[in-house]
Amino acid sequence: MKKERLFTPGPTMVPEDVLLEMAQPMQHHRTAWYRQMHEELHGLLQYLFQTKATCLTFTGSGSAAAEAAIVGCCPPGHKALVVVNGKFAERWEKVCATWSIDHTALPIDWGHGAKVADIQKAMDADPKIDTVIVVHSETSTTALSDVEGIAKLTRDRGAILIVDGITAVGAIPVKMDDWGVDAYITGSQKALMLPPGLAFVAVSDRAWERIESGKMPTLYNDLKAYKKSLGTWDAPYTPAVTLVRGTLHVLRGVKERTLEGIWKETSLLAKATRAAAEAMGMKVYATDVVDSVTALLVPEGVDEGALRKTIRAKHGFQIAGGQGDLKGKIVRLSHMGYVDAFDTIGAIAALELTLAEQGYDKIGLGVAAAQRVFAEDLK
């Protein structure tokens, strides 16, 4: 007997009750049933993003909503600053390039998050910049950006702030209205513990002014079309009814557990994993660490590809490797969604067993350190 456990930072494990909820017979979406569900979903999304803003549900992975937000907020006459500190940030720069959006990339070292001082400097140097795009939790490098500080700056300067919150929302503190973010994006397959296929974006009134006055040629992923349909709790095209149903179920649970409770739990899993790594003599990769996912540098002499293959084949744990320049150098473990202390201890134990097979024997050290963290929390 071997259990499959998904520790990749998206997709993540889906709880059994959510799978059952989505196994119900199909219903049509141009119905009072769907509209009622959509209305409740909207209220719960507002709770999730901590906002009174409009929350749109797109069919597609997270990138669909991110592209819609970037394209909608950057019509001709505006200029974007894209902070590039990892693979996902690179994608948003590519969106700008694809749509011929006037933009500048601000490269910062991988493993670091976007910081106020860097953005302020870039904005001072180029007064045309009136839009800033940052990744809150850069999943490829596991780096955390200072969204609260950056939002204060963009508010002060009347700029629009677009945040990729795809592994932040529902995992670590996100306070859209308190901070003053204009477009916050997430997807279904990360902290929301759903299958891939839905993208969510919360859009501020300030951003709507920009979007509605701009003329960007877009059809399917059009924020304006989604907003219009929201007026009657409809969707412009056939929505992914099954996933919407699952999301409603998940978000009811999130509200019951409270966001604060979930942020604390996620943070504890990350802390335990970092303590385990330290005890095993493994380095945490990121400088500005985020709590939704942890990247560990693979010890010298260990083959990362073989490590991931073995840990899955022998122990059932799917963990992620590195992307781009980090390929072969790091492994990443998710702390999002349907994962608890014992799943995490199990992942650490499996990592120890797999590393020992390659001659890096730290059996028991990581597990003990992680348990200490959980024990401290129980005090």
Ligand X SMILES: *Cc1c(COP(=O)(O)O)cnc(C)c1O
Distance set, CA 372 to CA 89, 100, 266, 281, 368 (Å): 36, 52, 16, 17, 6
Question: CB 370 → ligand X: shortest distance, Å?
Answer: 24
Residue type, 5: R
Beta carbons of 162 and 194 less than 8 angstroms apart: no
Q: DSSP string of 24-36?
A: SPP--SSSHHHHH
Measured distance CA(374)–CA(311) in Å, rounded: 24
Binding to ligand X (CB under 6 A): which residues in 170-199?
187
Q: Which residue lies nearer to ligand X by CB, 50 or 140?
A: 140
For residue 345, give the 3-state DSSP assignment: helix
Closest CA to 377 of 344, 334, 338, 333: 344
* Stretch of 74-82, 116-124, 136-144, 312-320 lying at the interface with ligand X (CB under 6 A): 136-144
Binding to ligand X (CB under 6 A): which residues in 72-101?
88
Q: Which residue lies nearer to ligand X by CB, 335 or 362?
A: 335
62 lies in the binding site for ligand X (CB under 6 A) = yes
Question: CB 89 → ligand X: shortest distance, Å?
Answer: 8
Beta carbons of 211 and 224 less than 8 angstroms apart: yes
Question: CB 282 → ligand X: shortest distance, Å?
Answer: 22
Task: Using the CB atoms, write b or e for 79-99: b if 16+ within 10 Å.
Answer: bbbbbbbbbbbbbbbebbeeb
Question: CB 113 → ligand X: shortest distance, Å?
Answer: 12
Binding to ligand X (CB under 6 A): which residues in 321-360?
none
For residue 109, give the 3-state DSSP assignment: coil
Question: CB 260 → ligand X: shortest distance, Å?
Answer: 22
Per CB under 6 A, the list member of 90, 118, 130, 164 interacting with ligand X is 164
Q: Which residue lies nearer to ligand X by CB, 92 or 179?
A: 92
Q: Which residue lies nearer to ligand X by CB, 54 or 137?
A: 137
Distance set, CA 306 to CA 164, 329, 354, 355 (Å): 32, 12, 9, 10
- What contacts 242, CB < 8 A, 6 or more positions away? 22, 26
Q: Which residue lies nearer to ligand X by CB, 10 or 337?
A: 10
Q: Which residue lies nearer to ligand X by CB, 37 or 135?
A: 135
Q: DSSP string of 36-63?
A: HHHHHHHHHHHHHHT-SSEEEEEES-HH
DSSP secondary-structure letter at 289?
A: B
Q: Which residue lies nearer to ligand X by CB, 63 or 204?
A: 63
Question: CB 145 → ligand X: shortest distance, Å?
Answer: 10
Binding to ligand X (CB under 6 A): which residues in 138-157?
138-139
Per CB under 6 A, the list member of 7, 10, 56, 105 interacting with ligand X is 10
**What does the binding site for ligand X look like in residue numbers (CB under 6 A)?**
10, 61-63, 88, 135, 137-139, 164, 166-167, 187
